[in-house]
Structure 1
Amino acid sequence: MQKFIVTALAIGLGASALAADNQVTIVTKGTTTCIQSNGIPDHDMGAFPRRGNPNSFRAQNQKYCFSANPKKRKIKSTKAQIVGVTLTGIPIRPGTADWYDASSPRGHSRDSSSGWNLDGMGPDNALGLDHNNAHVDHRGLYHYHGMPAALIDLNNDTLMGYAADGHEIHYVGAKAQASWVLKSGVRPSGPGGRYDGTYNQDFEYKAGSGNLDECNGAMVNGQYVYFATDSYPYFQRCHFGAVSDDFVVKRAPRDRQRPRKVRRG
């Protein structure tokens, strides 16, 4: 007989949020688990549009399925742009599609030729994250770039979501230390200036500098798990398991407004 588990949550939002509620269903059938939601978080969110983010929030159906029995492999994968999903049904997407661009009024654009990719959790909050380290994309989809304070100790547990390969994602605060460090010195190209965490290229992996591996994971009681951390990379940005296609964005996510069409007379 196939295992069939259904867990449903419906948590009301604060008065400052939306009239609708967070609705999420978690179903495990056989070897697959699916998390489906209406895209509304179970906490109040910042007002959008806002400085750095011109987009408006829109509730929308989200469904992510992944292995219920993930296996750790030796080779890592970087193909998942959505790296995981929370237990409350909100996607985790720490990467951005914005790159340093001196010719852009914003200082960044989708032109990747500079080689300097903007990090959403950078010191200047250039992409307008709210108090839960999240914002909305051009479709109005709310998603996290860093660990949301509202999900710390969710259900009195450290488990806050699942990765694109099915492994668990936990938050244990300072007990989990990422092994990525800020480079010293000055950037040799692009924006120049000292490395300060504005760009992903400001960091480098240094094995042993923390207690997590390159993908922000570690073995715990014989089980491989990922950790959300308070420092870069904040969430795993690679996976050691088989990534589900549900987490692979066919077109790169756009964390900025669509360019306006120019009418030619």
Structure 2
Amino acid sequence: PAAYRFPDLSTTEGAGAGYERPQVSVSCSDTALTMHSNGMISYRFTPKTPNPLRAQSFEWTVTLTPTRTPTPLSIENRLGTLGFSVTGIPIYGPTEGAVPPATAFGDPVHNGILDACTGHTGPNAEYHYHAITTTDACALDERIVGFALDGFPIYSNPQGRYRSGYQRIGDPTSQVWRAYAWQAGDATTLDACNGTTVDGTYRYYVTDAFPYIIGCFAGTPATVTGDAGRPMPPMGRPVAAVTTAAITAAPTTSTTTAFCDLA
């Protein structure tokens, strides 16, 4: 667990005047990693939906010893959190909600409704990513940019070393999973979950092409409750506030508390 080093958010710009500063804490036991986050971004907020940005109360706990399941778990039309970034921002899939009907379950990247950092706010005023854009395009070293709920790490993809295996076969404006089909390729082609095994360890990679981060769960995702476990409602239909689950104390075997940033 000590090998997981998270960035420092205390010197970042934050979302701007009038917004809470990002707050993230991380603790590790021998078997699990827990992150608490207020869900605030570390860069200036640019509205891309009618939804505002407000601080949240997120808690995620994932295993540090993930294992692959014999059959991957589909995320097709699964709305809501699939993982979290090292900056404490929820990671969603490559799918939007059922409203409006013209773009129902469409690709938010293709439909141009994300900001420059490939995120936007949802009906619960929570900012989330549908893709991850890193700023070190010329870097040679890979680094962890997040974790899926099954515990497998999500890595940056410097210089596009790995590529998605999904091929476009239709219009992703709506029903995006009908618009792409996965095809096997060479050693640089990621599997249907958008991951591969490196040095004996499975990991997901971010890609410029669909599904962008996670294409399916290679392992068993953790059950998340409270604000962090809310499903995403159809866009444009805000839901009532959900009572936040109590944040549990860090385990006595906790190694460190850190703060986090993708830039």
With normalisation by structure 2, the TM-score equals 0.75
1:118 maps to 2:106: yes
Task: Structure 2: give runs of 5+ residues left out of the alignment.
Answer: 240-263
Which of residues 223, 237, 243 in structure 2 aligns to 1:258? Answer: 237
Q: 1:259 to 1:59 in 2, by over 3 A?
A: closer
Q: Distance in 1 between matches of 2:88 and 2:229?
A: 20
Ranked by relative contact order (alpha carbons within 8 Å, sequence separation 6 or more), the top structure is 2
What pairs with 1:25-174 in structure 2 (closer than 5 Å)?
A: 25-46=25-46, 48=47, 50=48, 53-78=49-74, 81-94=80-93, 95-98=95-98, 101=101, 107-108=102-103, 117-122=105-110, 124-125=111-112, 128-149=113-134, 158-173=143-158, 174=160
Greater Rg by CA: 1
Query: In 1, are the aligned partners of 2:13 and 2:43 still within 8 Å (CA)?
Result: yes
Q: CA deviation at 1:16?
A: 6.5
Task: Structure 1: give runs of 5+ residues left out of the alignment.
Answer: 102-106, 110-116, 184-194, 261-265
Q: Distance in 1 between matches of 2:189 and 2:91?
A: 22
Q: CA deviation at 1:10?
A: 3.4
Residue of structure 1 in register with 2:258 after alignment: none
Query: In 2, are the aligned partners of 1:181 and 1:204 still within 8 Å (CA)?
Result: yes
Residue of structure 2 in register with 1:104 after alignment: none
Q: 1:15 to 1:77 in 2, by over 3 A?
A: closer
CA deviation string 1:140-193 (max 9, x = no partner): 000001113358799x7521011110011001141010100111xxxxxxxxxx
241-250 vs 140-149, greater mean Cα deviation: 241-250
SS of 2:224's equivalent?
Answer: helix
CA deviation string 1:108-141 (max 9, x = no partner): 45xxxxxxx211111x31xx31111100011100
Query: In 2, are the aligned partners of 1:26 and 1:34 still within 8 Å (CA)?
Result: yes
With normalisation by structure 1, the TM-score equals 0.75
Amino acid of the structure 2 residue aligned with 1:14? E
Residue of structure 2 in register with 1:206 after alignment: 183
Percent of counterpart pairs with the same letter? Answer: 23
1:217 maps to 2:195: yes
Q: Distance in 1 between matches of 2:28 and 2:116?
A: 32
SS of 1:10's equivalent?
Answer: coil
Query: In 2, are the aligned partners of 1:97 and 1:253 still within 8 Å (CA)?
Result: yes
Residue of structure 2 in register with 1:263 after alignment: none
Q: Distance in 2 between matches of 1:71 and 1:35?
A: 20
Query: In 1, are the aligned partners of 2:124 and 2:238 still within 8 Å (CA)?
Result: no
240-249 vs 32-41, greater mean Cα deviation: 240-249
Q: Distance in 2 between matches of 1:157 and 1:181?
A: 25
